[in-house]
């Protein structure tokens, strides 16, 4: 099959290497040092899903013409880069099934709105991938990826082509990595957004996810931000889809439990991550001197709260702290993080 990957960084690099290893004809887009490295030395995958050096065709944009179309394309850029990346590759995507692997709530729906002639499938990756250096990516925690369709709208009603794209993506990707299908993609996006509450504190402190969870001051902040996000999600009327054992009843119980009991859930999530330090995708952006996706993670909780006429002070404080680190390029000590969040909670 001819498989394209737009944005072969951590997640896209892993999927491109796995597709290459399975014998697919793979083409990726990348930029800067990553593009140079892939062109010169290939794409090196290490970690839990084995080792492989792929030699995909790599350039700034996908190449396709009528006689040489892609069978499946994945979009694996950070949320803030999605629109221009799709625009640059729009001619290769007409009528071609597109899988949008993106955290946050809006990625798949935005791609579907931007490309009306392209069948769009949403994907939520629960595995952790690290971009180690240009051309080198690694799986630090293996886990499933959940596929589903973005909610149909009046502007983009449900279409058989989208169901066919979902079945194709499940078959092709399912042969490469653990894949599950979810009928309630919106609920799955919200559950993933709860999981992604683990991203902000590493980006603010420079610590690995596991270290932020071990630190009692930071685990208290994480517990508060997760509970706030669960409460906002529930107020929108969404039903959480079960991901990694995080079910709707469990998340409701987590939000209602006394705080010391609730703190056990992040601890469990940290244990499941294993011992290889996971920076999370947000700290990886900071380490590369880039802007982060935080407005689409904790920022999505703040936006959803505002739409309901509510506030989400813990999530808002974490967004602000991540932006501070982006601006000032200095990490914040755990005590100062706890103090800033406590001040935000007091109002």
Ligand X SMILES: NC(=O)C1=CN([C@@H]2O[C@H](COP(=O)(O)OP(=O)(O)OC[C@H]3O[C@@H](n4cnc5c(N)ncnc54)[C@H](OP(=O)(O)O)[C@@H]3O)[C@@H](O)[C@H]2O)C=CC1
Binding site for ligand X (CB under 6 A): 7, 9-12, 29-32, 34, 76-79, 81, 84-85, 88, 101-103, 125, 128-129, 131, 281, 284, 288, 290, 293
* 210 belongs to the binding site for ligand KPL (CB under 6 A): no
Residue 165 and residue 120 in contact, taking contact as beta carbons nearer than 8 Å: yes
What tokens were used for 204? 């603010």
Residue 151 and residue 109 in contact, taking contact as beta carbons nearer than 8 Å: yes
Report in angstroms how near the CB of residue 196 gets to ligand KPL at its nearest: 5
* 85 belongs to the binding site for ligand KPL (CB under 6 A): no
Residue 78, judged by CB atoms within 10 A of its CB (0-12, 13-18, 19+), counts as buried
Cα 150 from Cα 330, distance rounded (Å):
38
Residue 85's binding partner out of ligand X, ligand KPL, none, with CB under 5 to 8 Å set by partner kind: ligand X
Restricting to residues 281-340, name those near ligand KPL by CB under 6 A. 281
HSE-up of residue 322 (Cα within 13 Å, Cβ side): 29
Report in angstroms how near the CB of residue 279 gets to ligand KPL at its nearest: 8
* 103 belongs to the binding site for ligand KPL (CB under 6 A): yes
314: closest CA among 231, 210, 216?
Answer: 231
Q: What angle do CA 242, 246, 250 make, to 5 degrees?
A: 110
Contact window for ligand KPL (CB under 6 A) among 66-74, 191-199, 230-238, 255-263: 191-199
Residue 198's binding partner out of ligand X, ligand KPL, none, with CB under 5 to 8 Å set by partner kind: ligand KPL
Tell me whether residue 118 or residue 197 sits nearer to ligand KPL (CB atom): 197
Query: Residue 152: which residues within 8 A CB-CB, separation 6 or more?
Result: 158
Q: Which of 88, 132, 195, 244 binds ligand KPL (CB under 6 A)?
A: 195
* 198 belongs to the binding site for ligand KPL (CB under 6 A): yes
Tell me whether residue 54 or residue 340 sits nearer to ligand X (CB atom): 54
What tokens were used for 252? 């409701």
């Amino acid at each position: 099959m001819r498989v394209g990957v737009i944005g072969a960084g951590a997640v896209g690099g892993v999927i491109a290497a796995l597709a290459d290893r399975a014998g697919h004809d793979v083409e990726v887009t990348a930029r800067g040092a990553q593009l140079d490295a892939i062109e010169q030395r290939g794409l090196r995958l290490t970690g839990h899903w084995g080792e492989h050096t792929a030699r995909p065709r790599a350039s700034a944009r996908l190449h396709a013409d009528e006689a040489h179309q892609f069978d499946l394309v994945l979009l694996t850029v950070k949320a803030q880069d999605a629109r221009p990346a799709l625009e640059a590759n729009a001619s290769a995507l007409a009528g071609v099934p597109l899988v949008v692997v993106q955290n946050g709530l809006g990625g798949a729906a935005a791609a579907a709105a931007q490309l009306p002639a392209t069948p769009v499938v949403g994907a939520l990756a629960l595995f952790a991938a690290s971009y180690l250096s240009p051309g080198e990516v690694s799986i630090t925690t293996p886990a499933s990826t959940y596929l589903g369709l973005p909610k149909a709208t009046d502007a983009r009603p449900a279409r058989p082509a989208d169901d066919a794209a979902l079945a194709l993506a499940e078959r092709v990707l399912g042969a490469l990595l653990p894949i599950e299908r979810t009928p309630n993609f919106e609920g799955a996006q919200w559950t993933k957004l709860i999981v992604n509450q683990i991203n902000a504190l590493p980006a603010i402190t420079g610590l690995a996810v596991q270290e932020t969870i071990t630190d009692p001051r930071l685990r208290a902040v994480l517990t508060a931000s997760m509970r706030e996000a669960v409460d906002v999600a529930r107020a929108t009327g969404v039903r959480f889809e079960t991901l990694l054992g995080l079910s709707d009843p469990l998340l409701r119980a987590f939000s209602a439990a006394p705080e010391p009991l609730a703190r056990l859930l992040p601890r469990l999530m940290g244990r499941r991550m294993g011992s290889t330090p996971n920076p999370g995708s947000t700290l990886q952006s900071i380490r590369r001197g880039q802007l982060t996706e935080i407005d689409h993670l904790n920022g999505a909780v703040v936006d959803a709260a505002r739409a309901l006429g509510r506030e989400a002070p813990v999530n808002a404080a974490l967004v602000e702290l991540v932006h501070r680190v982006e601006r000032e390029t200095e990490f914040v000590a755990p005590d100062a993080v706890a103090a800033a969040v406590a001040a935000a909670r007091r109002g």
